[in-house]
Every structure is written in structure tokens, then in C-alpha cells.
Chains A and B, each alone.
Chain A
Amino acid sequence: MISRREFVVAATAAASLTAASGRSLAQAASSGKLTQDDLLRFDAVGKVTLLHLTDTHAQLNPIYFREPSVNLGVGETKGLPPHLTGAAFLDKFKVKPNSPQAYALTSEDFVALAKAYGRMGGFDRIATLVKAIRAERGDDNVLLLAGGDELQGSWTSLQTKGEDVLSALKALKLDAMVGHWEFTYGAERVKEIADAGPFAFLAQNIRSLEWQEEVFPAAKVFERGGAKIAVIGQAYPRTPIANPRWMIPDWEFGLREDDLRKQVESARSGGADVVVLLSHNGFDVDRKMAGRVRGIDVILTAHTHDAIPTAIEVDKTLLIASGSHGKFLSRLDLDVKDGKVAGYRFGLIPVFSDAIAPDAEMAKLVTDARAPYAAELAREIGRTESVLYRRGNFNGTLDDVICQAMIEQRDVEIALSPAFRWGTSLLPGDPITFEAISNATAVTYPNCYRSTMTGKQFKDVLEDVADNIFNPDPYFQGGGDMVRLGGVGYAIDIAQPIGRRISNLTLLKSGASIEADKSYTVAGWASVNQNVEGPPIWELVERHVADRKTIKVEPTDAIKVSGA
């Protein structure tokens, strides 16, 4: 019998995304030809295969998505995956620079590599992989789980309240999912989705406010490969804080660690051989939880969009991070013996759209779902000369464009844009279509308000958001990256406590310091408050791009970071 320890060694030694025998992915990559077979090659282990797909953000078609170049960890997570970027990431996971894996996993040489290796993801390509793995392993041995943020992030999903992606997930024969942005379609819609099935919509950590009753089933037991697998669902615990609570007014979320312990115990006493937490906590929260809640074999992580090429072990729990936007499909083979996980093999399969043949059935489903909106989506508004992306702790060029649009279109001194982790990237020379704009803005609360704020209020907001990212205790973190700013520069010391991180707030136009008791005109969007007035953000961005015709984003040093 192969021990768990040996599997880890094997996986590391292979130094490729899939711990494969024979021609490895790295070899395939260096030979210049990467085939579907290379991506699917896998030394199967045991009888059970878990497939994990997460944070696809409704991207049905292949996309570009630039991974962050800045992703800082604080406290105990400092320097640990996923808080490694660029060369440090490549070093840690022994990924060759300029290889397809380097392109998929980091932002190093992103533009050149994107041109060489093409778009990633697409549900038709994912369907090809899923079908092939089902054929290899047998349908009865495969469990397909989605980690949430699947139904939001595109124009078509916004128009259909996620129905377009739902049909795609059902066609993949999804077994279970959890939620976060799903809840921004409102309580009624989420209930409708959950009740319709046929997959299970799980959440051990949602209660009715009044009676503290479960709103969704906490867990479901599946029989796969002769083993009983209990899947416990964990919705994004901070949904009512990070997103509009008024859309889900009767539900209470939270981490609910004690309740999770009870779920694990009840799964074990019910005879589960494997306990899986299908989680939308975010990686650092899951790592902490893995150390505090015993008896979970696998945590399938989500929310923070991390793609990690190996399983991370915390005591006896495996943490899997499967990236976002359909860029990756995770495969975890489990060898289950005597009611225990005796061995495993993990592969983070990059979905290179140029290497994988699209599944015809899914391709048709996607085309049909998009057809009513095709003309709208394809409308070209302008072009970009710069690479446009969002992801990163402090800024992204796409957010610079959105902030500039707000400053000009709403005539304000300061623009605030939420630092969502989702949104697709554009390469220099790409057209800026309406679809490209909506891929970064399609939310159910898009109104762009115009208001005034004192310097003190403004600083308080920044301190608050900074603490949601850089609080050294992951359980006190929440939300996205640091709020994006237009018109303002600042310094941030991430090692300080709340109230002391932000300094040197400056209006970039005049160079004047922001004064605590002075009022400033401010625009922002995606406010969690109800009845926010103003045009939807995509309209403002469209007008801005149409005015400019060509977008060029100059590099900025408006944010000075220390304490990392």
C-alpha cells in the first residue's frame, strides 16, 4: 500500500501540475505542443475521484485572467501559499518560467505568454475534461463539486439570474454546490435554485434570523467508488457584510465552527468514510479552520481565487485551491480503505482552451444561452493599448479605467471602486466590447452614486477595508482586495492595526493633503445600501470608453505599500 506521505513526495518530484507518469506536463510544454491527452494524463489512485470547479463567475467561454502580482499575507500566513506571486511562486512549486503552467498560475510575462498560450477555461472545454475523467474512472466513482460564485459575473448571467450557467452545470452533472454571489440574486431566487436541483445546494452556516433554523441542507452523503462521502457545505460566511444584506434579510451567516464540528461528528457516526468540506470561506480562513475542526479529510477552498498546484496539508486535512474563471479543474483521487483516506493524488488541471477540443453538446448549450444577447455582447465600444486586469491587493488597470470613468462622468474629486477578485483581462490591442465591460461590472446593485464625504469618513472607510484584508487573524477578514481609488494617493503599512495603516492621503490632481474635516465629492458603485441612486456603472464605463476611443493606462505609484 502506498502511504500518504509517499504520494506527497511523488507529486512534488514530478514538478508538474499533474503528478503524471510518463510524459509530464512540463515536458509536453517544453516540446511546444500541449495536447488534451497531456492535460488528462493522470496516475489514478484508489477508486474515488473528486472534481472541483470554483469561482467560474459565469464565464461560459474561454477568457484571459491575469493572476495577481501582489497578494500579501499577514501574520501566520505571511509568505505561505497562496500569498506567493511571480518568481517566488514559480520557485516554490518548481514551475519553469515561460511555461504554460507559469502563464496559468502567475502574472509573469502575462501579455507575451497570453499571446503564446491563448485563452483559458470555457465550459465546453471543461465538459470535455469532465467527460473524459468520468469515462476513465466510471460515472459511479466521480463526484463533481462547485465551490460557489458560479452564477454571477457576466451579462448573460445577470440577465438570466444565473440560469445560463445553471444549465451548463446541470449538463456537467454537478453533484453539489455552495454559494456567495449567488445570494445577490435575492433570497427567493436562491431558494428556487436550491429547490429545483437536481444538485444539492448546501450550507451548514446559514440560519433563519428569527428561529435559527437551517435554511439549506447542511450536508449530503454520496456513495462513490464503494465509499460513503459526506459533503458539508459552507457558504461565504461574510455574505451579509460584504454584499447587500437587504437582499437576504431573513438569513444569518457566520463561520459557525461549533456547528461544523457537529456536522463532522454526525457524518462520521453516520458511517462516512470521507468527510469533505465544500467551502467558500477563502483560503486563509479554511487553513485556520482545518487546524481547529478535526476530522475533515478534504477542504475544497474557494472565494480567494487561488490556484495552487499541490494539495496543502494541515494536520490530516488536505486543502485544495482550484483557481477561478474556469481556468482550472481540480482532480483529487482518493484511496479509501477501512473507512479512512489511505492515499491520494492531486492534479490542478489547467484548462488551455487551444489544447482541448470543445465538447459539442456544451458548445451548443453555451451558444444558445448567449444567442439572445450576442449582438449586445459583441458591440465594440473602443480599444485598449494597455493590458487591463483587476486582480491584486491594491490596484488593477481595469479598475483605474472604472475610477477614471466615475471621476469624469460624475464630476467628482474621488472615485471608489470595489475590489472584487473577479473580472476578465484584456490584452493590448484588444477591442473593449460591452461584454468586456460587463465582465467586470455585472452585479445586481450597479448604481453609481454621487455624494460627499469628509476626509475623516473617507479615511475610516479605507482603514475598515484594509482591516478586512490585513487583519492578522483570518477569522476577522472578509470581502475582497483593497478598495480601488481614483483621484487619490496614499501610503499603507499593512503590519499596523486598524486606524494606523493608512497615511499621506493626497489628492493627486493638486497634490494637496486630504483634510479630516473638509468635504470632498465622491462617486462609487456597488454600495450595499438599499435604494442607491445613479446610473449603472457599465453605462458610465461605456460612455467613458466611447469618449476616449482608445484606452491607455499609465503606470502609477499613487499607493505606497510597507510592512509586507
Chain B
Amino acid sequence: MTLFEQAHSRREALRVAAIAAAVVALTPRLAFAKPEEVKAEIDKLYGAREMTTGKLKLDMPEIAENGLVVPINIEVESPMTEADYVKSVSVFAEGNPFPRVLTYRFTPACGRAAASLRMRLAQTQNVIAVAETSTGQLYTARSEVKVTIGGCGG
């Protein structure tokens, strides 16, 4: 079981539900974050440390079938031993009200650093994930998700 920490403490009440289904419903009337804000948030959390791609897999649809519940699968290729394990994975969205959507925290007992969630995406945007290991390695992945009106058959 993955430990789960909601990015915003006022959402504490959602915690149990989020562990079960991990649907993060964000309030629609808020202003949307901008790519610069996501970058600032990432810099704040991790500093200007180097991040590598390839180890963290962020699996999302290219086009959302339902922008209200977009499925996201996260998996980090990493040992999960006391000496070296994935400590956390955070997810950021460039076009949602809050730049940081959530952070998962892992322990070696998790066995593998993997999680599935569904999140609301208000518009077409990049979703970014960052994983941090106990040895201080940072892995990142980015995925563009298109939210479309659709409905033109074919």
C-alpha cells in the first residue's frame, strides 16, 4: 500500500478516498497555474538539482476521454531497499489551479514505487512527475494531455 500525502492540508478529509481511488477533484473557479509557477514549485521543493529521465514512467492518455477523471499510472524503476529506495513522487500540472497536485511517499516496505490515480484536467496541459530517492537522485517525466471537446465522429 502506498502512503499518500495530499498537497494541501485542507484536503485532509479527502485522504482516505484518495488512497482508495485517488480522484483529485479541484475546484473549477480558481485561476489556473502557469508553467512558470510549476517550475517555481519544483525549484522550491528540489532546488536546482539535476533530474534524469527514463527511470520514472508517467503513463497517461494522449487525449483525455473524460477530463474529469484522467487516469495516470506512475512507476519508478528503482531498488526498494533500506539503503536505496524511492522516497516520494510528486505530480504537477501546468494548467490546473494548484501547481502541485499531490505527493506520494514510499518506504522500502512498499516493495515497488508505483501508484495509480485519476485527476481532473481542466484543459490541455503538461503533467510533470518528479521522483526523489533516499540517495538524493531525482527522476522526472512529462506528458502532454489533450482535453478536447471532441464529438466529430469520423
Contact = CB atoms under 8 A, between A and B. Distances in A.
Question: How big is chain B's contact interface, by range?
Answer: 10 to 19
Given A245-B66, A476-B62, A420 B150 contact: no
Contacts of B65: 240-241, 245, 252-254
Which of B62, B124, B151 gathers the greatest number of chain A CB atoms within 10 Å? B151
Q: What band does the interface of chain A fall in when counting residues whose beta carbon is under 8 Å from B?
A: 35 or more
Contacts of B154: 180, 236, 238, 242, 282, 303, 420-421, 478-480
A479 B150 contact: yes
Interface in B50-89: 59, 61-66, 71
A468 B62 contact: no
A254 B153 contact: no
A486 to B, nearest CB: 16
Contact of A460 (B144, B146, B149): B149
Interface string B8-47: 0000000000000000000000000000000000000000
A241 B71 contact: no
B146 A242 contact: no
B62 A479 contact: no
A528 B61 contact: no
A236 B65 CA distance: 12
A258 interface: yes
A418 B148 contact: no
Given A238-B150, A420-B153, A258 B59 contact: yes
Contacts of A7: none
Contacts of A405: none
B149 A464 contact: yes
B152 interface: yes
B146 A476 contact: yes
A258 B124 CA distance: 23
Contacts, number: 80
Contacts of B64: 241
B148 A526 contact: no
Contact of A461 (B62, B63, B66, B149): B149
B150 A241 contact: yes
A242 B62 contact: no
Nearest to A252: B65
A513 B59 CA distance: 43
Nearest to B71: A252
B153 A241 contact: no
Nearest to A484: B152
Contacts of A467: 146, 148
A479 B66 contact: no
Contacts of A419: 152-153
A421 B153 CA distance: 9
Interface string A299-342: 00001000000000000000000000000000000000000000
Contacts of A245: 65-66
A479 B59 contact: no
Nearest to B116: A212
Given A418-B152, A420-B154, A241 B124 contact: no
Given A240-B66, A475-B62, A480 B153 contact: yes
Interface in B115-152: 124, 144, 146, 148-152
Contacts of B152: 242, 418-419, 465, 468, 479-480, 483
A78 B66 CA distance: 30
Nearest to B152: A479
Interface of A: 180, 236, 238, 240-243, 245, 252-255, 258, 282, 303, 418-421, 443, 460-461, 464-465, 467-468, 471, 473, 475-476, 478-480, 483, 498, 526-528
Interface of B: 59, 61-66, 71, 124, 144, 146, 148-154
28 contacts: A236-B154, A238-B63, A240-B65, A240-B66, A241-B63, A241-B64, A241-B148, A242-B151, A242-B153, A243-B151, A245-B66, A252-B65, A252-B71, A253-B65, A419-B152, A419-B153, A420-B154, A464-B150, A465-B152, A467-B148, A475-B62, A476-B63, A476-B144, A476-B146, A478-B63, A479-B150, A479-B151, A479-B154
